[in-house]
Amino acid sequence: MTAHKTVSLLFGVHAHQPVGNFPEVVDDAYQRCYKPFLKILHRYPEFRFAVHFSGWLLDYLFDKYPQDMALLTEMVQRGQVEMFGGGDTEPVLAVIPNRDRIGQIVMLSDKLEACMGERPQGAWLTERVWEATVVPALSDAKIEYVTVDDYHFLCSGKRVEELNGYFTTEEDGRKLDLFPISEALRYRMPFSPAHDVVSYLESLARSDIQASAVYFDDIEKFGIWPETYQWVYEKGWLEDFIRGVLASPKITTQTYRDYHAAEKTRGIVYLPTTSYIEMNEWTLPTAAAHTYADLVKTEKAGGHYEGRKAFLRGGIWKNFFTRYPESNWMHKRMLGLSERLHNLPEKKHMPAMLDQLYIAQANDAYWHGLFGGLYLPHLRRSVYGAIVKLEAMLDHVSPREKFTCMDADSDGVDEIFLHNKSLQAVVKLDGSASLCELDAYPLAHNFGDTLSRQSEHYFRKIESSHASRQHEGSGIASAHDRVAFKHEISALDMVAAEHAQTLFRDFILLEGKTTGLVYELVEADAEGILFRAELDGGGVLKRIALKANRLVVSYSLSGVSPGNMLTRIALAMPSCDGFAGRYIQAGKILGGFGSVLELDDGNGLILDDSVLGGHLALDTNHLVQLHGAPYFTVSQSEAGFEKIMQAVMLTLQWPFQKGEMEITMAVDQGNVVV
């Protein structure tokens, strides 16, 4: 008797919002995606599936929408839904210490057990970033299986037709099972018509073994991506898909847990370090990304791509730390604080310290691809807010030296850390004598949190098209295939910066020519840092010091020809070009941070920011010319290309003179009443 051909659909969705995202964005995602998705699935208890929520998002939704989230709990308790675990703040496990991997996973598992009554057996691997080094932590945290892309398996030499069920890997004596997510399903759901997806699933049915169709991808595709709300809910894609699956005699739905318990492993496998295909392109430097994209295009045109794509591998996730110095700096600051925290005597540990460390490990602000990520100031601000809060806590229970010098980010250049209870100034000894970080501890904010313009691979799309690409065929276009513009973007907007955007980067203006100053360190201690720049016939002495809540930068010039000196100060202000940030002088509002400011012969300016909950007062002991302007970068997102304000760029200019120029920046809590 011939066995009936069937396929087990292992359907899973991953819900995540970046830590630090705007509440209104999370609420919109809930109303347009999470809520309608759960309500529809609740009506079909026989449709079994898996769900992963990052820990902080789960907390947020249970706190704000308890009645609706009770539906999810009910589905778990009736066996319809399997909850997946993972890192609580959704870190990329491969780039945090092993002790923090275990801690993050256990924290979310504890939370799920408390909320849902079940401890997870499976885990979502952030951005499917795979390194074998994560296996011991997952195993030690009692995770039995994870999902990764089928592409990961192809890169190990497997063929698509071999990828059925799950496989087993091991590292350092620990085992972990791996389910291969189908790329074919990822690109079909929910973009192809429901009946086409059902037909494809039926084509996978086999009679010799219990075939599996593994899908696990972002739930945001079901309502938040462009056009998807209308397609999935208003036009009924999701219900059509569910009904089609349940009506098919060839398809059964199972949770991963049930399939894993009923079926045996398909064998041992060892996967290379990789992520999904698109990520491997995004992580490449621009020139290499161009080469990679051209090679892929050539292979596709020749009809060879599908058979060779596993050997056309791009970069690895950690390349983001080499591509973006700002990402690397955040990451190494986080690692340093993790070490400090875990080296504390147990009696000095506080739960709040671990909370802040885990927030600083959230993945979103460390990378950039189709989604804004690193380019979004509010996501970086969340990471730095946690870093600054944690550092203040650690300093309180285990004070460090007021002055230290080290190569904190392993780039071959030392940094000087100068701090007191209110402020911390970090100066990179790269010849610029400028600040790469300025922390205000009471405000938990880094005023040096700025991203520099650099060349990006996707600029080629901007240069070649200024109109949305029309989708051909049935269904709707995936965000990966769209070319759209949220803002008008010019060629000047895409010119890469010559250097990092820092605070107090100095230049001289002689005979109409601007030249950057190159400094050498003269001396440094807890009282301040002294630099000297040599000029023809003379030089510039520059001193950086902290006095309570004030950063004081002073300049002394000697033996130089008549001319002007200028310094540029890139300030990360949380309101960016929104309505909450404003320039104030002598009790008068001069404009917002998104406007251009020109002041002649001024010596005082306040930057007030209600998002920050504080203000910064700039004063000089001599009159200066002051120019203020927004500093933008060009980013891509699922909604299109956009310009994002990264900083307020202040330029102060004054003529050479005998007296010392002193510039003071005082940081205070509270906003200015005008």
Count of CB atoms within 10 A of residue 453's CB? 17
- Whether the bond into 45 is cis, omega within 30 of 0: no
Q: Distance (Å, rounded) from C-alpha 274 to C-alpha 153?
A: 10
* Residue 471 pLDDT exceeds 50: no
Mean pLDDT of 396-420: 97
pLDDT in tens, 322-350: 999 999 999 999 999 999 999 999 999 99
Check residue 468 and give its pLDDT: 44
* Backbone phi, psi, residue 525, to 5°: -160, -170
Check residue 488 and give its pLDDT: 78
Angle between helices 194-203 and 237-247 (to 10 degrees): 30
Check residue 222 and give its pLDDT: 96
Annotated domain spans of the chain: 7-273, 414-674
pLDDT in tens, 178-213: 999 999 999 999 999 999 999 999 999 987 778 999
* Residue 289 pLDDT exceeds 70: yes
Q: In degrees, to the nearest 5, what angle opens at C-alpha 64 toward C-alphas 61 and 70?
A: 60
Comparing 413-422, 436-445, 465-474, 483-492, the range with the smallest average pLDDT is 465-474
Check residue 557 and give its pLDDT: 87
Mean pLDDT of 345-359: 95
Please say whether the structural domain 7-273 has been given the CATH code 3.40.50.300. no
Q: Within 13 A of 191's CA, how many CA atoms are on the CB side?
A: 20
Cross-strand pairs, 555: 542, 661
* Residue 234 pLDDT exceeds 90: yes
* Residue 659 pLDDT exceeds 60: yes
* Residue 360 pLDDT exceeds 70: yes
pLDDT in tens, 373-391: 999 999 999 999 999 999 9
Count of CB atoms within 10 A of residue 413's CB? 13
Check residue 485 and give its pLDDT: 63
Who has greater pLDDT, 479 or 622? 622
* Residue 274 pLDDT exceeds 70: yes
Residues annotated catalytic, as ranges: 127, 218
pLDDT in tens, 30-64: 999 999 999 999 999 999 999 999 999 999 999 99
Check residue 165 and give its pLDDT: 95
pLDDT in tens, 77-127: 999 999 999 999 999 999 999 999 999 999 999 999 999 999 999 999 999
CB 214 within 8 A of CB 180: yes
Angle between helices 35-42 and 237-247 (to 10 degrees): 30
Check residue 172 and give its pLDDT: 96
Q: Distance (Å, rounded) from C-alpha 612 to C-alpha 583?
A: 14
**pLDDT > 90 in the chain, percent:** 83
Q: Dihedral sign, CA of 472, 477, 482, 486?
A: positive
Check residue 494 and give its pLDDT: 86
* Residue 161 pLDDT exceeds 50: yes
Comparing 295-304, 510-519, 603-612, the range with the smallest average pLDDT is 510-519
Q: Distance (Å, rounded) from C-alpha 642 to C-alpha 487?
A: 5
Q: Within 13 A of 395's CA, how many CA atoms are on the CB side?
A: 17
Q: What band does 491 get if pLDDT is binned at 50, 70 and 90?
A: confident
* Residue 1 pLDDT exceeds 50: no
**To the nearest whole number, what is the mean pLDDT of the chain?**
93
Check residue 480 and give its pLDDT: 46
* Residue 2 pLDDT exceeds 90: no
Check residue 228 and give its pLDDT: 94
CB 50 within 8 A of CB 84: yes
Check residue 636 and give its pLDDT: 86
Mean pLDDT of 14-22: 90
> According to DSSP H, which parts of 117-236 are helical?
135-140, 150-154, 183-188, 194-203, 228-229
Report the relative pairing of strands 588-592 and 581-585 from DSSP bridges: antiparallel
CB 614 within 8 A of CB 669: yes
Check residue 259 and give its pLDDT: 97
Please say whether the structural domain 414-674 has been given the CATH code 3.30.465.10. no
**pLDDT > 70 in the chain, percent:** 96
* Residue 593 pLDDT exceeds 70: yes
* Residue 364 pLDDT exceeds 80: yes
Whether pTM exceeds 0.85: yes
